[in-house]
Amino acid sequence: MKILITGFEPFNKSNINPSGEIIKKLPEELEGITLIREILPVEFKRASITIKELMKLHQPDVVLSIGQAGNRPEICIERVAINLDCVRSSDGSRELPDNGGDMPVDVKIKEDGENAYFTNLPVWDLIKKVKEKDIAVAVSYSAGSFVCNHVMYTALYEVDKYYPNISAGFVHVPFLPIQKEDNKKGYFMELKDMVTAIQEMIAAIAKIKS
Ligand code: PCA
């Protein structure tokens, strides 16, 4: 069994991204599962091209992408990706460019895609496994409209069109304690807990898929 697991480079003036740090901590193999570990650019176009190419190249059984959502207190397993890129904050006051300077507002990701795709990962099994380790985790019904949602949508579009046997999904993680500058709300989580949570999810997925 092969799992493509991705994190992101830093963005929004930060010099670290917990999702990329998790990727660096994961082994090449875990309980007989090959982990293809990759770090994606925080750029709409390049990130979707990369995830598509990685899926084609490796033909994984599972695609599990990880990103940072620093305004959330717990690890979030995303249920749905929407067909929309929009860098505007929800109160309309700010627009955050991606790392390449791209700033789409209200742009469809795929003209021929569904309005939204649900993850085909077993979300409740993942929640249960992570909870057993006493790590804060929840299901989320919005992955936002920035690069994380874009990557999740792209992977699920590929699954829908070309790879019905691949399971794909997305997990958002909070800030690390060292991200004090970025951390306005005061939520954070230790890297080791994030790594444990992801390893538990991998084990749960592997059990179900095998
Ligand atoms: N989080 C951003 C993009 C990269 C990341 O780690 C997001 O939630 O869209």
13 by Cβ neighbours in 10 Å (0-12 / 13-18 / 19+) ranks as exposed
pLDDT tens for each residue of 155-175: 999 999 999 999 999 999 999
209: pLDDT confidence band, cut at 50, 70 and 90? confident
What tokens does 2 get?
A: 């092969």
17 touches ligand 1 (CB under 6 Å) = yes
Q: Which helix (H) or strand (E) holds 149?
A: helix 147-161
pLDDT higher than 90, residue 31 = no
Instruction: Give the amino acid at 69.
Output: A
CB 9 within 8 A of CB 40: yes
CA of 75 from ligand 1 middle (Å) equals: 13
Of 139, 105, 110, 144, which Cα lies nearest the Cα of 125?
A: 139
44 touches ligand 1 (CB under 6 Å) = no
175 touches ligand 1 (CB under 6 Å) = no
d(CA 102, CA 87): 9
pLDDT tens for each residue of 98-127: 999 999 999 999 999 999 999 999 999 999
Phi-psi region of 193 (alpha: psi -120 to 50; beta: other; left: phi over 0): alpha
* Three-state DSSP class for residue 114: coil
CB 176 within 8 A of CB 188: yes
Q: Taking the mean position of all CA atoms in its chain, how far away is CA 198?
A: 11
CA of 146 from ligand 1 middle (Å) equals: 7
Please indicate, yes or no, whether the overall pTM of this predicted structure exceeds 0.75: yes
CA of 39 from ligand 1 middle (Å) equals: 12
208: pLDDT confidence band, cut at 50, 70 and 90? confident
CB 54 within 8 A of CB 117: no
Residues serving a catalytic function are: 78, 148, 172
